Amino acid sequence: MRKKRDKNMAASIESSKCSENNLRKRRGENLTSAKQTVDSTESENDISKYDKKEKVTLQTGTYWLTRIVLLRSIAFIYFVAFGVAYNQNKQLIGERGLMPCKEYLRSVKRYVGGKIGMAALAYTPSILWFMDWEDMDANLDAIALVGLALSGFVLLSGRANMIIMAVLWILYHSIVSVGQLWYSFGWESQLLETGFLGIFLCPFWSLAQMPRHCPPSHISIWTFRWLIVRIMLGAGMIKIRGDSCWLDLTCMDYHYETQPVPSPISYYLHHSPWWFHRFETLSNHFIELVVPFFTFMGRRMCMVNGTLQILFQVALIISGNLSFLNWLTIVPSLACFDDLALASLFWPSGGPWQTLMKLQKEKAEGTSSPATKGMFIRRVVNVALGILIAFSDITKERTEVVFQGTLSANHTDEGVVWEEYEFLCKPGAVDRRPCLITPYHYRLDWLMWFAAFQTYEHNEWVIQIAGRLLANDSTVLSLMAHNPFQSREKPRWVRGEHFRYKFTKPGRATAAQGKWWVRKRIGPYFPPVNLEGLRSYFQSRNWHQPDSY
């Protein structure tokens, strides 16, 4: 009996231990499971925190990327302008040019009392005053080449400082100041104003693409916005107060055919339906007179203004060869966009994007770098600049001057053969396709368009061209596309003929023959002239004799 009791007691103890062990095991599993759940939750939270930390969104109201885009855009226009200067300045204002800048500087020097001082600089601000006048062609080339090099550097790198931008401005101002008639176009002053504003976008000395100590000035951004507002409102008001065709909505019936240098697209746009031309004119009024006010209606409306202005200028670029004017007008429109709007133009893995995220994060955390002395100087100038800045006719028919020459000794003989010279881009031969050169600019072609509205007495340089053609002068001939007397003897006589040009109509016989234009002779622009007859004319105007070059 006792043995049996002990055996039962032992079994009970063992069962109790087994139950306790099972309980402990279950508790252990539960604790492990709970711990794993906690660890998993903590891990997920860490991942979530990490994801949130890594997922950075760009903020509105900063202009680091805007500055890069603006600087590259200004540099592009400078590059084109200096390229035009390098290719054409020698022929227009060089030693053998049609209007030598050396003679112009001498006349200014005499006018201000014979000294090169502040009076001379105020009248004609140009570094050419301080250069050797013995070889003016080399001086002009040097200015253009330095301008090309500096603007090319800014264009490719997106880096600039106030010194580089100021040098570009001074160099181009130096050319414009002595360019005389050839640099009398409105976009020259617009480029100088835009380039001047670009000086204050940059740090004083640093060439970093995104210098931490020098964020883009909001005042500087607003000066660009104010510039596009002024340009567009000014253009719209001039139209309304000028030609009546802008009010009766018929200007676009003539524009494409009569603009200075039409493009191939101009031909087809000219033949658009009448209702399309009315729509174009109304759209022009809306974009120039209404849309600019969007600039002051908040971020979204400001971007709408920038978008519409850029699209408008692109349409003008496609429809004609208006030099770099429309390209230049796009530049201040870019200031309507902040970093968030322009971020798509940059690679997310690229330096500017990554730097921008760091800068915005530092600003949000209040750990931005302190301002430097150079930054304070730039702020003062920007404030002063902000205070200072804050506060046409459409021709109905196209006429052209065509130069013609002949080898005949007597221009009055019967059967005299007159052969035509061709300019680089302006209309001449009726079967010649209109050119497409924008943003490049042939200055002589443009001036010939203006000369056709007047007489040669108002444009005496036309007679100088005639004299140079009589001498087969290579300088002037380099500005032309076709010389009928190349590799032949010099022409005996040259004359200017006045023609009225009109686009051919698609489907008509003239168009089927490959002709873009039809023309009708109005009469002589200037009478036939020869070298002997022009000698006294050249001498009376203190010009070098045509055959003396």
pLDDT of 160 over the 80 cut: yes
497 bridge partner residues: 402, 524
Average pLDDT over residues 413-432: 94
503 bridge partner residues: 517
pLDDT of 341 over the 60 cut: yes
Determine the Cα angle at 275 with ends 271 and 281, to 5°: 90
Among 53-67, 242-256, 332-346, the range scoring the smallest mean pLDDT is 53-67
498 bridge partner residues: 401, 523
The pLDDT, as a whole number, for residue 298 is 94
CA nearest 136: which of 194, 178, 196?
178
pLDDT of 137 over the 50 cut: yes
Per-residue pLDDT tens digits for 185-194: 999 999 999 9
pLDDT of 323 over the 70 cut: yes
Backbone angles phi, psi at 518, to 5 degrees: -120, 145
Q: Position of tokens 């909001």?
A: 218
The pLDDT, as a whole number, for residue 383 is 37
pLDDT of 352 over the 80 cut: no
CA nearest 203: which of 190, 213, 191, 192?
213
Average pLDDT over residues 147-157: 97
Three-state secondary structure call for residue 273? coil
Per-residue pLDDT tens digits for 253-312: 999 999 999 999 999 999 999 999 999 999 999 999 999 999 999 999 999 999 999 999
The residue ranking higher by pLDDT, 320 or 351, is 320
Q: Please give the share of the chain, as a percent, with pLDDT higher than 70.
A: 81
Query: Cα torsion at 301, 303, 306, 308 (round to 10°)?
Result: -70
Tokens representing 189 are 């002053």
CA nearest 214: which of 77, 385, 382?
382
The pLDDT, as a whole number, for residue 210 is 81
Average pLDDT over residues 67-72: 96
Whether 261 contacts 426, CB under 8 Å: yes
The pLDDT, as a whole number, for residue 521 is 97
pLDDT of 106 over the 60 cut: yes
CA nearest 75: which of 153, 140, 145?
153
The pLDDT, as a whole number, for residue 322 is 92
Rounded to the nearest integer, the mean pLDDT of the chain is: 85
The pLDDT, as a whole number, for residue 330 is 97
The pLDDT, as a whole number, for residue 400 is 97
The pLDDT, as a whole number, for residue 394 is 78
480 bridge partner residues: 423
pLDDT of 143 over the 50 cut: yes
User: pLDDT class for 484, splitting at 50, 70, 90?
Assistant: very high
Element (H, E) at 316: helix 299-319
The pLDDT, as a whole number, for residue 22 is 46
Q: Position of tokens 């340009």?
A: 231
User: pLDDT class for 349, splitting at 50, 70, 90?
Assistant: low
Q: Position of tokens 């040669």?
A: 456
Using CB atoms within 10 Å of the CB of residue 521, give its burial: 0 to 12 exposed, 13 to 18 middle, 19+ buried.
exposed
Highest mean pLDDT, choosing among 49-63, 71-85, 239-253: 71-85
User: pLDDT class for 183, splitting at 50, 70, 90?
Assistant: very high
Average pLDDT over residues 348-375: 57
pLDDT of 381 over the 50 cut: no
User: pLDDT class for 242, splitting at 50, 70, 90?
Assistant: confident
Average pLDDT over residues 172-176: 97
Q: State the DSSP code for 521.
A: E
pLDDT of 17 over the 50 cut: no
